[in-house]
Structure 1
Amino acid sequence: MTHTGPGSQSTVVDESTRTFDVVVVGAGPAGSAAALEVARAGHSVALVERGPFPGAKNVFGGVVYGRILDELVPNWWEHIPVQRWVTRRQTMVMTPAQALTIDFRTQDWGSPPYNGATAHRADLDSWLAEQAVEAGAVLVPSTVATGLLRDHAGAVAGVRTDRPDGDLTAGVVIACDGVNSFLAKEAGMYPTGHEAEHLTLGVKQTLALPRQVIEDRFAVTGRDGVDIEMLGCTRGIPGGGFLYTNLDSISIGVVLGLSAVSKAKTRPEELIAELKRHPAIAPLIKGGEQIEYSAHLIPEGGYHAMPELVGDGMLVAGDAAAMCLAAGIWLEGVNFALGAGMYAGRSAVKALESGDVSKRGLAGYRTMLEESFVLTDHRKLRDFPDLVLSDRVQRNYPGLVCDLVQGLFQVDNPLPKPGLRKLAMRSAKDNGVRWRDLLRDGWTGLRGLK
């Protein structure tokens, strides 16, 4: 077995193996899935990773949904390095002094094939890349793809690297080089301008807590875990908060619209500090000792922000293709990256075997995506990112919801109960919500759910 994690040996390219059928840039979930598919089909593939090992540069740790792995790794749940299986999901709407939580739990998610899990990407990425290497992929670590190689007709024919021993040529290049993909931009597959409008900044603290303390506070046992997503905790800056459990730590943080947080001149750590002091959160994290602080960009523009996915000799997948679904109650990314990478690998194999790696020969990739959950879900929910990040959802609706529920439960005897309609009218007025806006936003949400 060839291990790909820290301190282990990895396969490196030499003078005799610098020409491949496929070069995949980026050993994240999308890249490893693509390389795995190509290698299993018997074609040569290089998996280029800028870090010393897959996951070394990735600070993400969060909830991943693994069912797409059914098609890639048999009985994957027996081997995948996760922290906890999420059996309890909470959605919390907040104001500075209030919190309304929808709390759902099910033991159906606590046994195979599971639903979601918390994981550290350094562990997850290394494991995924190991599957590709075992299938025959060549891992090329500590290597930056600095640009594209082109043939005499202008088609992509490989990548330039910062390695002293030269470049990597290939019939197909699959760009999985992450958010703000330089390769996709160089290929002209991304429109210019407005990039920041489609990006968010995720900032996270990981706090160490004893395993038994976590299980007592979050009412879970064994490997069961909790995922809490929050709205209304970012001072009206488009975004939200999150908290989830690992085995012996918890992670808490915020996701913020990049342009908006810059204009607000607010530091993310201030918002995390406020969140940690919130009366609904403080008891859960009490005594936690910070062991990690990290930040990364997230492509949350959705369907409307995606680049061209297919070019002559080139495919784009994962975060490089803006395939992160941020649609309110759905916050997913790794599963879309795995799916897109898998289909990119399959499409590259078909194109190679047909002898046509042009844009036309690779067009099956787009078809596969459209016939799968990857683009079906993104297209269905294409208006959700703008709705969720709108001023009304961020600034007005959390107060409206919390005030309405507080009014329902508050007992003001000797005054009689005001009734739901009166409470709704008062809560809407106090929070600056017009009914026509509420109805329009509700229709947008329902249309995406049909």
Structure 2
Amino acid sequence: MTANESFAGTVPAALISAPGSGQGKSLVTAALARLHRNAGRRVRVFKFGPDYLDPMVLERASGAPVYQLQPWMTGEAECRWRLAEAATQADLILVEGAMGLFDGTPSSADLAVLAGIPAIPVIDAWGMAQTFGAVALGLARYRDDLTVGEVIANRVASPRHGDLLAKGLPADLTLLGAVPRHEAMTLPERHLGLVQAGELDDLDQRLDQAAAVLAEAGLDRLPAPVAFNAPRPTPPPRLLDGKRIGVARDAAFAFLYPANLDLLRDLGAELRFFSPLADTTLPAVDALWLPGGYPELHGATLAANTALREAIRAHHEAGKPILAECGGLMSCLETLVDGDGEHHQGFGLLPGTARLTRKLQGLGMHALRLGDQELRGHTFHHAALENAAAAQLFSEKQSGTGGEPVFVKNGLVASFFHGYFPSSPTLVAAILEGRFPPPR
């Protein structure tokens, strides 16, 4: 590989956004991906910002892994090269935004401008007629550097309603399609967002039905081609060469960024997956990663798996590294209390209780900083800790105050903080080698 080697390609691309959350952009993006995939096109979908649940559905819809793009978390250079790499392989690139088009710093609009892709807002048109045009106009005119030439109307009541919406748009805005209210355009949700894709036995059928609804609404037209060009990234040093890392992966521990797994492999690690729900032994590994997920939904099963719990305790007592994120942290405490108030025995690596709450306890972009190393990521949880030990460190919010506690004990590093590993390969390697916190 030479220093000036790069990815380059031109392919239809668009960012699917909305005026705010709850407008239906997630399922519209997934249905668009499935629609074009069913037409024989190679589709790549990306998700703006930190999210584990939407990408699971988008991956099923498109048939390809879904990576995160967020200029602060992943870095601007990574946003550019991931899109450029996809452009060498795909016939269509879609990016699902987060929240509203201009919400957050950086926002979905910032990514669209950075990448040079147009934004197509999905606007919930239920209860609106000509006012739909005013909302679309505001989104299109709010920033001069953002391209918005088409909009999608969602939850349209009738063909006549769709005609009213189209006629109310300014001359330079087009209604890409009017999506009717339809049971196929919904997916079940729970406290952290969409139900995990693997839990929906009929997900492929649902996606095909949603794709058919979009096709009937005229959304089978490709967006405009966009030219992408970016240098290949420099491979990271093989800081984990020869290390075997056990990665928990099942219905209770499923919050895994593909980029994190890629980074560990690029660092030289061998990944061995196991299920805390089903397995009674750990694979032969040097370190463990217990990612986030829904352990609170499987507390009884986890508690009943005494053999696996004892294997994790033995690993910890031997001083071997463990990285526990969010749901992983919750499982490492003595007790886990689920949403029904039922108490379940945890792995017992840390004192205290993790209790699921109705109120959101943590949300936002965070970083774990040590010296000149900064691991970026986010937090999003409905759990609170009771009678926990004092934290050794705290994450730092991107904006504002109030970081997440980070517990460090005998090789264990546990927090509600979810890290995006490529943002600091050196710090990730230090954690998984048991050198955390490293000397400053």
TM-score by length of 1: 0.25
The answer to which structure, 1 or 2, has the higher relative contact order (CA under 8 A, 6+ apart) is: 1
TM-score by length of 2: 0.26
